[in-house]
Amino acid sequence: MTNAHDPVNFPPNCSLVFIILQLLSCSVPAKGKADFSVCGPGKAVLAVLGENVELPCHLSLNISAKDMELRWYRDQPSQVVHLHKNGTDVKEEQMREYQGRTTFLSARLDQGKATVKIHNVTVFDNGTFHCNFKDGTVSAEARLLLTVAGLGLKPRIQVRAIQGEGFWAQCTSEGWYPEPQVRWRDFRGQALPSMTRLSASPTTGLFAVVSNVTIQDKEVWGLLCSISSPLLRKKKMVNHHFPPPLSRSFPSMAWRTVLPLILTMAGLITVGATCLCQKCQKDKNWV
């Protein structure tokens, strides 16, 4: 299942090629007692992690598929996702990964339409599937593309002060697929440069995010970290408020203002005390 484990991101030209291949697969009929071809959805099917997804296929002719052998598989026909023949599901030939996770929808078999539902979609379902319709010795098939996407956990943010009155911030999250996009902004809406590291879990295939920024602008009083799924067009965000710039600089400003006053007052007190002592001494000598 090599393709199932690899992240699949399809640029527009690849999607166009896929659609052309689909059209070609529908336009080449099988030869037999009834010439037919099999068609899939014609575009990639988007599935959300943990949810269910349907993989529909249908005959190009409006003929019944009730007596046909219907096989959904991955790279090779032996890698069975679901097999339906002689009017029943054959579970013994299923891949272990799909045992107990598929349902055959047969309501429209008499119209040449059949669908396999995959339950609890995982990262490893991402990739290519085939559906094969076989009538005796005659068969035809179509290719389906399943693209899996999932939103991760709400980001968490940590902030600490660094030397020079700046700040270091880190944004973390887990459970994303495919690789998410990370953006930092301050509360003025300006983008902030960051260093981001993405790592995939060897067991789940899901991505973890660790992203860092360093702030030395004293006018920045808040940060926003957003992590988004390019396929689902959804994002999750977290923000952090800094103390207002005035209160952050107030102690040093206050000391710069108050210290000269304190020194001046101390000087005046010292001079006054000295003068008073000298006057007292003169009065004593006079007496």
Place of tokens 């973890």: 208
pLDDT 10s digits, 182-209: 999 998 889 999 999 999 999 999 999 9
CATH fold for the domain made of 156-241 = Immunoglobulin-like (2.60.40)
Listed by start position, the domains of the chain span 32-149, 156-241
With cut-offs at 50, 70 and 90, classify the pLDDT of residue 152.
Answer: very high
pLDDT score of 155 more than 90: yes
Provide the whole-model pTM. Answer: 0.71
Do 32-149 and 156-241 have matching folds? yes
pLDDT 10s digits, 236-245: 999 998 766 5
DSSP notation for the chain = -HHHHS-----HHHHHHHHHHHHHHHHSPPPSSS---EE--SSPEEEETTS-EEEEEEESSS---TTSEEEEESSSTTSEEEEEETTEE-GGGB-GGGTTSEEEE-TTGGGTEEEEEEPS--GGG-EEEEEEEEETTEEEEEEEEEEEEB--PPPEEEEEEETTTEEEEEEEEEEEBS--EEEEEETTS-B---EEEEEE-TTT--EEEEEEEEE--TT--EEEEEEEETTTTEEEEEEEEPPPHHHHHHHHHHHHHHHHHHHHHHHHHHHHHHHHHHHHHHHHHH-
Identify the pLDDT of residue 251: 47
CATH 2.60.40.10 fits 32-149, yes or no: yes
With cut-offs at 50, 70 and 90, classify the pLDDT of residue 35.
Answer: confident
Mean pLDDT of the chain: 82
Identify the pLDDT of residue 100: 95
